[in-house]
Amino acid sequence: MRFTALLDTSVLYPALLRDVLLSLAHGDGSGMAGTYRPLWSQDILDELGRNLREKAGLDAERTARLVGEMSREFPDALVEHYEPLVPAMPCHWKDRHVMAAAVRGGASTIVTHNLTDFPPDDLVKFDLEAQHPDTFLSHQYDLSRQQTMQAVEAMLRRWRNPVGDIAELTAQLSRNSCPRFAQLLTQDSS
């Protein structure tokens, strides 16, 4: 069974980060499984949809299409029946639903920008760890360098407008909170 990570809304909202995370989960398109199995909850998808509409200005149809594509591509990512666990979660109140979904889904890691909302002492009780996306992606690279590079290259081939290259990707990742992962990709492509 693949490593399992719950993706918080904070890492699904930025388009580039979402694309990289989901590309690594998907793999290179050759039928080989990705480097990890992603999880999310309906609450996370609803929050993502609200943020895409209210903050990014996407219309409801485009938002629904994006969330629908994620659900179709990863049909086993949706964690259900976590709601009874929410009140017992010791983390920050606004992220209890995230931690409950991670526990119910059997995740090892919560990938989030909001590390302070998930104190390590609260997570250890549930065999969980919270990781910043740069740390998580760097670990994926360290654990599965070839698969990670193949998934990133497949993602770049999917980009149509503009067509992407590794230099452009790493520059954007460096500016968008993933400098270590960008550095690893740069070293590998040299």
Sign for the pseudo-dihedral over CA of 178, 111, 146, 164: negative
Give the distance, in angstroms, between the CA of residue 184 and the centroid of all CA atoms in the same chain: 18
Q: Strand, coil or helix: what is 78?
A: strand
Domain 4-189 fold: Rossmann fold (3.40.50)
124-142 pLDDT, tens digit each:
999 999 999 999 999 999 9
d(CA 102, CA 125): 13
pLDDT, position 31: 58
Q: Using an 8 Å Cβ cutoff, are 26 and 34 in contact? A: yes
161-181 pLDDT, tens digit each:
655 688 888 999 999 899 999
The amino acid sitting at 118 is F
d(CA 123, CA 110): 10
Q: Strand, coil or helix: what is 162?
A: coil
50-97 pLDDT, tens digit each:
999 999 999 999 999 999 999 999 999 999 999 999 999 999 999 999
pLDDT, position 176: 86
d(CA 90, CA 100): 10
